Amino acid sequence: MDPEVLNYISVIFSGLINTIILTFVGIAIGTALGAVLAFMEVMGPPSLSRVIGWVTRIIRGIPLLVILFLIFYGFPRLGIPLPPLPSAMLGIGIRSGVYQSQLFRGSMEAVGRGQLEAAFSLGLSKWGAFKHVILPQAVRLMIPGWVNEFTIVLKDTSIAYAIGVTEIFTEAVHVAQVVLDYLPPLLIVAAMYFTICYSVSHISDRLYRKFMIPGLGGSIEQGAENV
């Protein structure tokens, strides 16, 4: 193989750690935020539920690129300077959070009202019913959607290029600008994303079956990637 290509690869791989950090932190923030939002939307009083519904709808209407710029330029104005990497984590996390709240909500609703009523009639509190009855079932139903969200977040980390985070896409573009040849570095970085996405989405089915409890009801609407 051309030694130059090997050089490309090592430079691009140096961005992999940031891509992975961004993906996992983004997903983690998103899961925490999504669970809280969904809990408030489903279990909260109608007025709170409506407010949450509107807030998530509004945030879902803003492109990630604009969210990143708002955080990157907005936080310093509030007196909190935020470097590119944390800005990107926060932006990706918030975006993922409002999507994951939809996922949580969909799977919670799929578990069914009857289970909730049964839990209340057994004397569980709202939080207790959520924690012990709804969540363990809902999380299982969520797996395919959640794995899908993982690949979306992974791909979206490339947009952090806009605020100068040195993840794999940024590194690939830098290489391209130095060697004045865009195709090889772009193909390499595309192959890296593809490898991760492809393998992750193909373990989804296995995970789903592994954690499935036989005989447990409930089904979640599938098919639409962009919930």
Partner 1 sequence: MFEGFASLLSTYGPLLAEAVVMTLTVTAGAYTLGFLIGVPLAIVRTYGRKSLRSAAAAYIEVIRGTPMVVQLFILYYAAPAAGLTLPPTIAAILALGLNSAAYQAEYFRASFLAVAKTQWEAALSLGFTEKQTIKTIILPQSIRVAIPALTNELVYMLKYSSIAYFITVPELVYTGKFIGSRTFMYTEIYAIIAVIYVTFSLIFTEGMKTVEKKASAPGILLHERI
Residues that bind partner 1 in the complex, under the rule CB under 8 A: 57-58, 60-67, 69-70, 73-74, 77, 151, 155-156, 158-159, 161-162, 169, 172-173, 176, 181-183, 186-187, 189-190, 193-194, 197-198, 201, 221-227
Gyration radius (Cα) of the chain, Å: 20
- Which runs of consecutive H residues, i.e. helices, occur in the chain? 3-13, 16-43, 46-60, 64-77, 84-111, 113-121, 126-129, 135-156, 168-179, 183-211
> What's the closest the beta carbon of residue 157 comes to partner 1, in angstroms?
8
> What's the closest the beta carbon of residue 135 comes to partner 1, in angstroms?
25
- Cβ proximity to partner 1, 63 vs 128, nearer residue: 63
- Cβ proximity to partner 1, 62 vs 124, nearer residue: 62
- Cβ proximity to partner 1, 4 vs 225, nearer residue: 225
- Cβ proximity to partner 1, 127 vs 182, nearer residue: 182
Name the burial class of residue 201, with classes exposed (0-12), middle (13-18) and buried (19+) by CB atoms within 10 angstroms of its CB. middle
| DSSP secondary structure code for residue 83 in this structure | -
> What's the closest the beta carbon of residue 194 comes to partner 1, in angstroms?
4
- Say if residues 106 and 91 touch (Cβ distance below 8 Å): no
